[in-house]
Amino acid sequence: MIDNNALSAEEAEQLLKVCREEGIELIPQINLLGHQSWHSSLGKLLTVYPEFDETPHVKLPKEYKWPNENGLYCKSYCPLHPDAHDVVFALVDEVMDAFEASKFHAGMDEVFFLGDEKCPRCAGKNKAKLFADEVSKIRSHLKENDQELWIWGDRLIDGELTGIGIWEASGNETHLAIDMIPKDVIICDWHYVRADPAAVCDCC
Ligand SMILES: [Zn+2]
């Protein structure tokens, strides 16, 4: 399962060498859970393993438009598919070995498809718990090798309360996952334009 623009092992080694020479710590990223497609093109994971698709009934259109009737932005894999993590973790381990890294960035931003009502495994489940369980599962896998998990922070921000909307914050209740994930997960706060103080806690 090799993507079209994938780095070779030699290229990874070269990158690592340059980073070390310049005092840069390289943190590899694979987008997990969400971002398994881009508007009209399917990513490699779901191309090779279509059974992992959270929303197989949603077909990618030739011409993408937003808004659309399915709420399609990017596809997700099903976090409860019994075989998904065998594949996903093999990819994570391969990348971590290639870059001799101790920190891994799993993306997990802009997850719109989660707990889909037509998914035989996820339908009716609490979306914050589905998100938190996936974070915890990835974190536990990394922990076995003394590696640290980094994720983007947008799914953990309440889009309605903050008024920053469904793109750089959550519109499907996943923000409640903030209280369910291990405290050693590094959350990377990002914003499109304005630097809203999203990381400010309510106790100070
Ligand atoms: Zn599912």
From ligand 1's centre to the CA of 76, what distance in Å?
Answer: 9
- Give 8 Cα–ligand 1 centroid separation in angstroms: 32
Instruction: Give the pLDDT confidence of 10-44 residue by residue, as tens digits.
Output: 999 999 999 999 999 999 999 999 999 998 999 99
Domain annotation for the chain: domains and CATH numbers: 9-188 (3.20.20.80)
pLDDT confidence of residue 2: 84
CB 28 within 8 A of CB 16: no
pLDDT over 90 (residue 79): yes
What is the enclosing helix (H) or strand (E) of 46? helix 44-48
Measured in whole angstroms, the distance separating CA 179 from the mean position of its chain's CA atoms is 18
pLDDT exceeds cutoff 70 at 204: no
Report how far ligand 1's centroid is from the alpha carbon of 147 (Å): 27
| C-alpha span between 61 and 39 (Å, rounded) | 8
Give distance in angstroms: CA of 9 to centre of ligand 1: 33
Query: Could you tell me which residue, 174 or 191, shows the higher pLDDT?
Result: 174
* % the chain with pLDDT above 90: 87
Compute the distance from residue 198 Cα to the ligand 1 centre, in Å.
29
CB neighbour list of residue 194: distance below 8 Å, 6 or more residues apart: none
pLDDT of residue 203: 58
Distance from the alpha carbon of residue 160 to the mean position of ligand 1, in angstroms: 25
**What pLDDT, in 10s, does the model give residues 138-155?**
999 999 999 999 999 999
What digits encode the pLDDT tens for the residues 179-188? 999 999 999 9
Instruction: Give the integer Cα–Cα distance in Å for 88 and 78.
Output: 12
First to last CA, the chain: 48
| Residue 41 Cα to chain centre, angstroms | 17
Distance, in Å, from the CA atom of 52 to the CA atom of 34, rounded to the nearest integer, reads 12
* Distance from Cα 119 to the centre of ligand 1, integer Å: 5
